[in-house]
Each structure stands twice: as structure tokens, then as C-alpha cells.
Structure 1
Amino acid sequence: MPNIRRRTSDVESSSSTFADLLLPDHLARGLSSAGFHQPSPVQLAAIPLGRFGVDLIVQAKSGTGKTVTFGVIVADRVLCSSGHPQAMILSPTREIAQQSASVLHRLGAELQPSGLKCGTFVGGLAYTNDVRRLESACHVVVGTPGRVRCLLEDEKLRPDSIRILVLDEADSLLSDTGSFEDDILAIHGMLPARKQVLAFSATYTEKQMGRLGELMRQPQHVNLCAETVSLLGIQQYYLEMPPLPNSHEQAKAREQHLISILRSVPFHQACP
């Protein structure tokens, strides 16, 4: 018999379905074909508010479906009859941007007449390819702040039709130690004044909350991390190590001991 793990209550609601959210048929089909059948608490709480058009500051644990949450909100607002960008999703890394774009493609596959067109614009890749992509139909811009700002300032990306701005992993985008905040503020200022702004993260500092409030109009708060930011289904362990040894031989023995421990315990993430 296969080992079936029951999803915990912070990942999936046992008493609700996506039908309860009264989504359009094309979005319901997109969710089903992408393998999403029951919404998570953050999806139940944030999707109806986002579809209503309010600004949102959403705090929810990693792995509970924040990408699908803003993906549904964005896909619901896009008109495929227009080829111009109508939504923008900013991410702190290339990998996160590509992940968001992949989710949007799947959720919007049923949009008529030809599906949701989502372009990924990140640093480190050819700028000329980005320009060519924007010359064809592109409904949603997903990218890293530096590259998106450059496209806007060079007037390669038309901002006038964009009505939704999503800040994914907003704590990283507005981090004091990062270099994104100036880009975020510049991009926000170049977009139309009347736009919906959505911020998603597992954690926020008080300063970041204040800054987000300055970028939004009477934002609604969805906080599902009141007690902990760790998933209920995740087991966490730690190993307290003795002080660093003095000799090379002792250091080597300590390293081998650590390696043997890591090899004996199945894990997905580790940090010092």
C-alpha cells in the first residue's frame, strides 16, 4: 500500500472546494488541470478580496499556495482580447519569477481566445529577446525589479494598461539589506496611479508594513501566520555541535561525523 500523507490544515481546507469561490469556468478548469482541487486557507481568505479589487497585504506560510492565490486573482482580471500587459508580478530572483510564470501559464490555459500570455523578464538573459517578446501579445509581465525597471525606462514596456502590481516575496523586495527597494518605488511610480497592489510574504517587519501601506490604498490584511511561520506537517531537528577542534585531524573527524548524520536522515532543507 502506498504511503499517503494527509495534508495539514494550513495547506489544504478539508471542508471547502474551489467551487465555493464561484470562479469563472475557465479558471476552475485551469485549477483542476493543474492539479489543484481544494483551496488552502490563504486562497480561501485572499482570492475573494483580490477579485473584488482591493489592495492586499497577505502573510502566509511558505508552501501554502500564495502563488496560486495571486495567480487566480491576476488570471481573473486579464482580458485576452487585448495583447497589452495588464498585470505585473515582481519577484526577487529569477527562479521565483519563472515559477510564478509557470503557474500563470497553467491557470490561464483555458482563457479565450488563445490562453494567457505570460512573459518572464529577468536579469542575466538577452535584453533583445525581452524586447521581441513585448512586441507580441503579453498579458502578464513577470520579472525581477532591475530588468523590469530598465524595460519601462527604455519605453519598451508600455505601463498604461497595467492595472495590477504583485510584490511576490515582498519582504525580500523591501529588505534593508537588498537593492530592490529603489527599483520597486521607481516601477510603482511609472505604473498608472489607479492600480491594485498585492503583497505576499511569510514575514514582514514593521518598517516593511509601513512602506507597503504607502504604496497602497486602504489595504486589507490577511494574516495566517499568527502563531508560527512553519508548516504544521514539517518536522524540524537541530544538532548542537561542540566547539571547533584545534587540530586538522579532529576537524576532519568532526566533518565526517556530520556527513554521516546528514546521510542517515532524509531532509529537504538544512541551514547552519
Structure 2
Amino acid sequence: MQEKFGQLSLSRKVVAALSDMGFEEPTPIQAQAIPLVMENQDVIGQAQTGTGKTAAFGIPIVEKINPKWFAVQALILTPTRELAIQVAGEIASIGKHKQVKVLPIYGGQSIERQIRSLRFGVHVVIGTPGRILDHLERRTLNLENVKIFVLDEADEMLDMGFIEDIENILQKTPVERQTLLFSATMPLPIQRLAEKYLKNPRLITINKDTLTVPLIQQYYFEVAQGSKVDALCRILDYENYESALIFCRTKRGVDELVASLQTRGYFAEGLHGDLTQAQRDKTMKSFRQGEVDLLVATDVAARGLDIDKITHVINFDIPQDPESYVHRIGRTGRAGREGKALTLITPPEYRQLRLIEKLVKAKITRASLPSLQEVVEQQKEVIFQSLQNIVQEGNLGTYQSIALDMMSRFDPVDLTAAALKYAFTLRGVELSEVDFSADFGNTGAKPGMVRLFMTIGRQQKIRPADLVNLVANETGISPKAVGDIDIYDKFTFMEVPEDVAHRVIHIMDRQFINGKRISVQPARAK
């Protein structure tokens, strides 16, 4: 531990605290930022949640604090109360051996309690802009002794309309302070803010290849719109997840999906902007404690969430903004753990997936929905392992008597089958088939293929090779996957695999080819 963080010339008390927290070696942003901050440089860090940026500014803050001087020596602004609490907790852990006093300040909590804490004396304040301004107006927070000012998640602040509040707060701090700004992206208003308030800042950029991290396995599933909930349930039944964060595009979508999941027996709760603070706190507590293992949220509601043990991020709705995808999946695969990012898409959304792939500079792997048999095998193994553990633990005397009594009245195989049915039901698994794609009927194609009718032909001077390349480039399917092609004067028949037929139809229909807008539909068998 000391050989790795010791290279950053940290005190023994801070190194001991980092060891207690399980930190093994500095992340790239920590290795770059900590020496600069220790040298009193202003710093701009372009990095997202999950890269270790809290410790990147938290460690040098703790090193610079004089614990014997009870004044607010560092101020950190965050966009949400959840992030304020998370940052406060991490800095308190880093500073525990130095007796650094940390206070999170946010709306929704008793301001009188915060005022009392400030009167007792704190070294580091972490807060949301609105509540910080409230304290400044009441003169219950004094920023005259602030040596370090940190603006965390600056682009999120911009999105939430906090820039004016931030400037008002900055103007209440000493001119000679050290300023650190962290942001996932650098839109123009954030650049202007940095130019105005930072002195010769050093820029640290953690590129997107680092942000998406190889420990996150990324897959997508293509499903018909009306089958998304059933497809999600099939995935959940197959995946071995501890806790999963599921994203929907709208608040209504969150409520509807939570209701559908709860009806099917899953432990799911929702998180969106219409919840009261008490409801939000209760939901987050249940999720953190493992009472709820599925948290369904909107992008806005999930801002500032920082939970280490999320094993899966599932995009029930693909994000409209490709950068939101990077934000979402960064909430799994934390602290060196592996994570999975799974995305459900309908055929019209394939273009959006291609944009995301360009942004993350990686191919997101297509995955097939688990078959019923695969789900059964997976659940059977889980149930078998659970039963094996119970047998090995022993102490089954009373249960053996009940079993013998029941076996005298029923066939042992029927009893076992009934017990398995009960176990599967408790796990939310219904052994019934679900059709995840619309039925194309008989299109006259070979088995496993769909024959498509396209309103383009020889009159548009189209050749088979041209058509194959065009379809492959637009839809992302392999050229080798395309089957028979028959080109006539005014129309064409083309065979494509059944599992990509919806995608080909939705993307190619109404496209312009050689100056003609074409129509693409399933063919009708003769």
C-alpha cells in the first residue's frame, strides 16, 4: 500500500486511512491530480464519476487541512444531495486519523441542525448550491478562510441551471484560494467559468477509452417494442446479478416498469423527480441495504448516485444522448470489479446504437435473448446449489420427518416437481414461452430467413453487390448474412436472417437509393 500511494508523498495517517478503505493504488486521475493540487496548482479535471476523482481532490484537501483550526478551510459544490453525502463520506474516511471534521449541506434536511454543526466548527463543507447560498444569506456559513474550492460535476451543474449560483458563491470566497474544477464534458459556459475563476489551471483529461473501462462487458438485445418487459424478465432470470440499475427515458416509464416487475415478483423500486425527498431516501436506503435489488431510474434522478456494488446497468430505454450512455454504464464495474452493461433496443433504435458505438469507440456485442431452456438450466443450477448448501449444513431432522410423511401420501417425483415449481415461482420464473419478435408469417424464404420486398430494381441501375453493401453498411449486419437476391425491373426480393429482419425493414424503409425513396416490407408467399 505505502509503496503505491507512498510515491505521492502522503502522510502516514492518510496512507493508513486509504489502506482501511481498501484503496490499493491510485487511479490515473489520482496519480496526475494529487501532486498538482499538493503544489497549490489550480486544476481542471475532465473525468466522470467512477474514475476516482473524489479521492483525487479529497486526499490533498485532507493533507492541507489544519485540524486544530476550526474554520471552513475547503468548500466542495456538488449538483445533488446524494453526491454531497457520498463525497462527504469519502473525505471523512480519508481524514479520520487526522480528525478532520466534514459536513454535508443540502436541502431537504433541517437547516437548524446544519447551523448547529457549523457553530461547533467544521473543516470541510460539501454542499449543493441552493443550500450553500441559503446559509450565506443567513450568515451562518463563513467562507473567508476557504483555501480550496472544488466544483464537482460542473457540466451537471450547468444542466441543472446552477451556474449563476456558483458564481455568487465563488465571489464570497477569498481571491487567493486554490480552485479545482471537475467535469465529464467541457461545454462553452464551463470553459468560460474556468477562464474567469481559475489561475493558470493545469488540465487533466481521462479519455473516454479509460472511462468505459474494459471491466465493463457491453451487450445489446434486439426486441420487438411490445415484448420489452418480457425480454427484460428473461434477461433478469438468466443473469447472476447482485444489484442492477435499470434506466428508463421517462418518469411514467419508470412507474410502469416498476409495477410490471413487482407484479412478476421482482424486488424493484423506482427513482424519479416526482418522488418526495423522504420517498427517495427510503428507496436508496433499501437499495443500498440489499432489500431491493432492482432500482429503476431516469437519467436525471440517477445524477449523483454513487453505489459501488452495482453489478449490472440495464438500458431498458436506449438513451437519446450518446454521452448519457457513458454516464450510465460508468455506474457499474467500480473499484476494479467487473460489471455488465446491457441495452434493449427496438429495430428503429439501431441508428442510435451505432452513434453510441462511435462515441465509446467500441463495438457493443449483439447478444441473443436467453432461451427458456437456458433460463431453466441457470435457475436449476442456482436452486441445486442452494439445496446442496442446506444439506451440507445438516440439522434437517424435523424436515426429514415431514418429508417422509408426505412421501407416504404422494409420489416422490410429483413432490419434487411441486417443490421445484414453488422454488421457481419464488424466483419469479414462469416456465412458459414468450415470443419476442413479431411473426412474419410465410414469406417464401428458407427456414430461419425472411424474404423482403423492396421497391427498387434494374431501372435504378442497382446490382446485387451494391444492395448487399448498402444494407450491410446501414444496418450493421454481415454481408455474408444476406441470402438470395432476385432483382426485377421495378422491384427486388432479398432474404435476410429472421433475427435482423425487423432492423433491416425499419432502417431501409423510406431510404433514398440512387435518387428513389424505396419501400421495404415482408414479402407474401405465392
CA contact (8 A) 1:90 1:168 kept: yes
CA deviations 1:122-178 (Å, max 9, x no partner) are: 101111111101000200001111101111121100111111111111211123xx1
- Structure 2: which 5+ residue stretches go unaligned? 242-310, 318-526
Which of 53, 57, 62 is the matching residue for 1:66?
53
Which of 186, 194, 204 is the matching residue for 2:186?
204
Distance in 2 between the 1:268 and 1:227 partners?
Answer: 19
Letter matched to residue 132 of structure 1: R
- Structure 1: which 5+ residue stretches go unaligned? 1-13, 245-250
Structure with a larger share of its residues in helix? 2
Q: Per-residue deviation at 1:256?
A: 1.8
TM-score between the two structures when normalised by the length of structure 1: 0.84
Runs ≥4 in structure 1, deviation > 6 angstroms?
A: none
Structure with a larger share of its residues in strand? 2
Partner of 1:261: 235
Partner of 2:172: 190
Q: Per-residue deviation at 1:120?
A: 0.9
Distance in 1 between the 2:37 and 2:228 partners?
Answer: 52
Q: Given the alignment of the two structures, is residue 270 of structure 1 paired with residue 314 of structure 2, yes or no?
A: yes
Distance in 1 between the 2:87 and 2:75 partners?
Answer: 11
Partner of 1:146: 130
Q: CA 1:239 to 1:134, structure 2 compared with 1: closer, same or farther past 3 Å? A: same
CA deviations 1:17-68 (Å, max 9, x no partner) are: 1010111222112211222131111111000001111111112343221111
Which of 3, 7, 10 is the matching residue for 1:23?
10
The 3-state SS of whatever aligns with 2:125 is strand
Letter matched to residue 79 of structure 1: N
| % identical aligned pairs | 34
Partner of 1:235: 217
Q: Per-residue deviation at 1:222?
A: 0.5
Task: List aligned pairs for 1:36-55, cutoff 5 A.
Answer: 36-55=23-42
Which of 93, 106, 116 is the matching residue for 1:132?
116
Which of 149, 161, 172 is the matching residue for 1:179?
161
Q: How many residues align?
A: 245
CA contact (8 A) 1:59 1:222 kept: yes
Distance in 2 between the 1:88 and 1:236 partners?
Answer: 37
The 3-state SS of whatever aligns with 2:216 is coil
Partner of 2:85: 98
Distance in 2 between the 1:270 and 1:205 partners?
Answer: 28
Mean Cα deviation higher: 101-110 or 260-269: 260-269
- Greater radius of gyration (CA): 2
Partner of 1:247: none
RMSD: 1.9
CA contact (8 A) 1:27 1:110 kept: yes
Partner of 1:6: none
Letter matched to residue 150 of structure 1: D
TM-score between the two structures when normalised by the length of structure 2: 0.45
Higher RCO (CA 8 Å, separation ≥ 6 residues): 1
Mean Cα deviation higher: 57-66 or 159-168: 57-66
CA deviations 1:251-272 (Å, max 9, x no partner) are: 3x54323322243234522232
The 3-state SS of whatever aligns with 2:312 is coil
